[in-house]
Structure 1
């Protein structure tokens, strides 16, 4: 029975699977009406607008339901809800930073937006697209429910029947609920702020009856670098929303390369394969992007795509067939100076340019998929990306329902960004405690990731047991057998001993795979100065990185990079030291005002050294 209910839930929410999903990608290339801006709201901690006083879901036509109009039919009609301009929130944006009374709020807020639509010719279809809503979104238009979605950091869309749309005053309502639950992804306990709201863009997309729903064009593995003179080969597929008419053809064109190829459509999904003899490969040094055009008889979509290969080969990571060292940093999708969720192009520019100033060629987007603007900007700037789903700490690993929710988020993440050259690692989780049940759960996610995309590496950030540390530490988590990159989080000198413990400590793994430090760090309150033994001082954090960097230099040859924790201080309810934290995780290289801490210069010097060619 539970499995049947779950399938109904997934169907209703629009969560994507390759065979049956309806997620539209590359939405920036589509004709669309932006629904960003001011939305009116009702705060509803008791969910009165959704349930009756017996806590049963209201009938769709119930006038007390908050998704129905708040306009009285006549003066005698009872209306106990209403949307007015006085109570408005900006979309995209979290609600926590917009009103002081919402700072700590977790629960339901109803959002309402009125909009007009210029009716198009017959044969058009309409989709409401949401970049992300945290966490559960129930979407209603003109009193009709379009669907429900769970997952706070991935996109979704619902088709809107054309007959439901009006020329004027469409009444769009979204019930947003960010309460935490034990059987969700993430679960109850995290180390970041649970920003609620419609946190990314919203738009009404117009497409033809048969349209290009999704496509992938990437270089095949082993098609560059290792074999001199070998012509790079591209492969992929084009997915239509429905089976094409008999004799339908697809065209793929890359104008700059003077490449154009017509292919017979073989069904909803048509495979692509072709050579690109003159392609310039994408890399951090030369982040070349090409305009790629996909056409059908009635539809066209255009994207900017970089071509490169990435793989774990033995104990090295090869980009375009050549070994790379990843000078990384972890990033939260947050703008600390304004204490809010990141969402705009300006936000992406701040976070990535701060990373570049630090000397990074790679970012780990933790612990959830970030806004699409940041992965697209990473493409343009030549920054490698680790992208992750929020399978974090103590997920219910024994639950088949939770596994399906994690797979849905994984699928949505990969589907949105599978044409981004910058994304080189799909991560299925962070610091999950070892057990056979957990390993089976995570192995299933890794398998799913490879099914969806076999052109990138898959990994997870593994946990270090500090109570079992000694001078020689072996990362032998059984999940290491299934990942491409053995990545682990270590905080030696902050959670385990003092920083000088690094002098006698070494790290290795029994797996013949690249070794990567996915987190390390210590707290420092910006502007607090003391001697290097004083916790939370900038001097302690500076000493921490001096010792860590000396340890990095003694790492085995399979050591391929690091992404310290974290670029900038960020909000966390777990961090309650009243003098140094005050609800902030202080492990950033930038403080919450945007100032660099002393440790910034330690890491930058190391990264600058790693940039130099080895003699």
Structure 2
């Protein structure tokens, strides 16, 4: 959605409505925004499971999909009617998994398992809760494909391992007690999926994020967006009489009624006619304290329509590119970043809680960061909300990674679907300043057409943020040349470089010359070297902490000589993470490029980068690039 003018805002509303229709094709009901601000019932906890590598519970012996009423379908309750009744599956207390959580880290036999696991639990619903309320079943994420059944009926399917989805539960299907919920989870990799078969991270399977029942009135506020209108020239927003624009998507909207938007702290309260299911609005705030890393101010914003009221703490800020600078609230910023995987190192599992988010972002804050690149997929909502409150800038990315099938229109549709779900969940997070459409995709005409389509789509859906991707850089004639054709479609030129790790030694940085074909801000989205925490040797010994520290000392010296369009970096990576591609004696299934080891121990390079960031933090804004 563009916010440059109120006219383009109305265009944005049309795009959003079209987007929601597209979303219904896959997840059946459009995503409900701000789930933490709703009336919910948690379905987290202990679930039963059946491991089903042959998918026996889904297909019969002729490999035809089982009928809904088939007693041997694993979505049906397997309790025998009498002692002669034959049942060949059962959910038993001996086989349980915790939700949210990945299955790989919960039992040794699951470590490398990729395939189908059936999850099952029962739940009760208070009769008073159901009275006059619609119920939706919400999943924060399931990796990768979910088939969801309730009381023997299929609610729907979803593909995508890192984005949220929900289904409406028909009232006639929901019971007061003993609701039998089953989720078929399949994390097998495939060449026509996003991501594809080839990645450099662990394919954690399972219901990896929260599960909730959501209760809403018959007509409710489905989602919304509100933010400052961005000045066309990127100038600093005014402190008084600040223009704000937004939209609200209604579900079950009547033919009339009033939508009310209120910001109590600013004594703002205005109503707008709801003549359809989408309402665009404009506000003028008397004054506003802008959100920034130094002062992450947020205001309670309330939306009310009929019986439904939703509130959320939202920060107001602008982000723009002007020439060679990235401007936050009209002022140049230097991004002291770090790349982060959504993974907890000890014992090695998918991050799934607010405590996990606090651990990862706490380490980033200790490093001296004002920014994180959340790679290579959308991270949990706890992470982006915590970044909002801590004042940490965020790069958020979809898993279009390496060599997906760029010539396949169906794959492009899947990528757009995940892009939409990423934006729809987090569009009110002031911390998120960059939507990334991919990482290290190999240059070719078909790839550039695919990726540029994603970039244009992201900008059309949300014009209030910057669009980027980790681009290709090539080395020729002693120069590091950035001429990836995708760069013409992004707001800043972001590249991954590993001078001294995948080519030569770290002192190669001393003679490095950087050239780019684009007059845009330059961001180093990755750079790093592997080291086994606790392994010490001389600085020429690969995999030692000393080699990694030398690497970062040379990188830091190079960063201080970068061209004047250099606006920041997010080295690879905060913490060691699991990867089956890494198999020498130092890695043993871990990517060891973390500044923190798999045991939580800080490596020597952590202090090297921290010293650089403290130095940059102390410099005046006008000199931060030097």
TM-score (structure 2 length as normaliser): 0.94
Aligned residue number for residue 204 of structure 1: 213
1:82 to 78, 87, 90: 90
Structure 1 residues 520 and 470 mapped into 2: Cα distance closer, same or farther (>3 Å)? farther
Aligned residue number for residue 254 of structure 2: 244
Aligned residue number for residue 18 of structure 1: none
Aligned residue number for residue 12 of structure 2: none
Structure 1 residues 528 and 469 mapped into 2: Cα distance closer, same or farther (>3 Å)? farther
Rounded Cα–Cα distance in structure 1 between residues aligned with 2:406 and 2:130 = 49
Q: Does 1:567 align with 2:553?
A: no
Per the TM alignment, residue 473 of structure 1 is displaced from its structure 2 partner at its CA by 2.0
Q: Does 1:424 align with 2:430?
A: no
Secondary structure of the structure 2 residue equivalent to 1:413? helix
- What are structure 1's unaligned runs of at least 5 residues? 1-6, 16-20
C-alpha RMSD of the superposition: 1.5
**Any residues of structure 2 matched to 1:86-97 within 5 Å, and which?**
86-97=94-105
Aligned residue number for residue 544 of structure 2: 537
Aligned residue number for residue 270 of structure 1: 279
Secondary structure of the structure 1 residue equivalent to 2:425? helix
Per the TM alignment, residue 228 of structure 1 is displaced from its structure 2 partner at its CA by 6.3
* Runs of 4+ displaced beyond 4 Å: 7-12, 227-230
Aligned residue number for residue 451 of structure 1: 460
Q: Does 1:324 align with 2:330?
A: no
Secondary structure of the structure 2 residue equivalent to 1:237? strand
Structure 1 residues 498 and 219 mapped into 2: Cα distance closer, same or farther (>3 Å)? same
1:70-122 C-alpha deviation (Å, 9 max, x unpaired):
11122222110000111000000000000110001000000001000112354
Structure 1 residues 252 and 227 mapped into 2: Cα distance closer, same or farther (>3 Å)? closer
Q: Does 1:178 align with 2:187?
A: yes
1:590 to 588, 596, 617: 596
Checking the alignment, whether the CA contact within 8 Å between 2:118 and 2:182 is kept in structure 1 is yes
2:483 to 476, 487, 490: 476
Aligned residue number for residue 41 of structure 1: 49
Aligned residue number for residue 527 of structure 1: 534
Per the TM alignment, residue 338 of structure 1 is displaced from its structure 2 partner at its CA by 2.1
Aligned residue number for residue 135 of structure 1: 144
Q: Does 1:379 align with 2:394?
A: no
Rounded Cα–Cα distance in structure 1 between residues aligned with 2:22 and 2:315 = 36
Rounded Cα–Cα distance in structure 1 between residues aligned with 2:452 and 2:499 = 28
1:148 to 143, 147, 157: 157
Per the TM alignment, residue 174 of structure 1 is displaced from its structure 2 partner at its CA by 0.1
Structure 1 residues 230 and 557 mapped into 2: Cα distance closer, same or farther (>3 Å)? farther
Rounded Cα–Cα distance in structure 1 between residues aligned with 2:471 and 2:242 = 34
1:3-45 C-alpha deviation (Å, 9 max, x unpaired):
xxxx999645317xxxxx6110100111111000000000001
Q: Which moved more, 1:261-270 or 1:407-416?
A: 261-270
Rounded Cα–Cα distance in structure 1 between residues aligned with 2:392 and 2:422 = 18
Secondary structure of the structure 1 residue equivalent to 2:300? strand
Per the TM alignment, residue 229 of structure 1 is displaced from its structure 2 partner at its CA by 6.4
Rounded Cα–Cα distance in structure 2 between residues aligned with 1:265 and 1:10 = 23
Q: Does 1:610 align with 2:623?
A: no
Aligned residue number for residue 60 of structure 1: 68
Rounded Cα–Cα distance in structure 1 between residues aligned with 2:533 and 2:157 = 42
Aligned residue number for residue 502 of structure 1: 509
Rounded Cα–Cα distance in structure 1 between residues aligned with 2:396 and 2:507 = 32
Per the TM alignment, residue 274 of structure 1 is displaced from its structure 2 partner at its CA by 1.2
Secondary structure of the structure 2 residue equivalent to 1:587? coil
Aligned residue number for residue 399 of structure 1: 408
Checking the alignment, whether the CA contact within 8 Å between 2:442 and 2:472 is kept in structure 1 is yes
Per the TM alignment, residue 277 of structure 1 is displaced from its structure 2 partner at its CA by 2.7
Rounded Cα–Cα distance in structure 2 between residues aligned with 1:85 and 1:480 = 54
Rounded Cα–Cα distance in structure 1 between residues aligned with 2:447 and 2:428 = 30
Rounded Cα–Cα distance in structure 2 between residues aligned with 1:572 and 1:511 = 34
Aligned residue number for residue 14 of structure 2: none
1:136-174 C-alpha deviation (Å, 9 max, x unpaired):
000000000000000000000000001101111000000
2:373 to 344, 361, 364: 364
Rounded Cα–Cα distance in structure 1 between residues aligned with 2:307 and 2:238 = 41
Q: How many residues align?
A: 600
Structure 1 residues 87 and 290 mapped into 2: Cα distance closer, same or farther (>3 Å)? same
Rounded Cα–Cα distance in structure 2 between residues aligned with 1:65 and 1:197 = 20
Rounded Cα–Cα distance in structure 2 between residues aligned with 1:283 and 1:237 = 23
Rounded Cα–Cα distance in structure 2 between residues aligned with 1:244 and 1:395 = 44
Per the TM alignment, residue 508 of structure 1 is displaced from its structure 2 partner at its CA by 2.8
Secondary structure of the structure 2 residue equivalent to 1:446? helix
1:292-347 C-alpha deviation (Å, 9 max, x unpaired):
10001110001010000001111100000000000000000000012100010100
Secondary structure of the structure 1 residue equivalent to 2:361? helix
Rounded Cα–Cα distance in structure 1 between residues aligned with 2:286 and 2:156 = 46
**Any residues of structure 2 matched to 1:267-346 within 5 Å, and which?**
267-346=276-355
Structure 1 residues 89 and 168 mapped into 2: Cα distance closer, same or farther (>3 Å)? same
Aligned residue number for residue 489 of structure 1: 496
Q: Which moved more, 1:267-276 or 1:223-232?
A: 223-232
1:601 to 590, 593, 607: 607
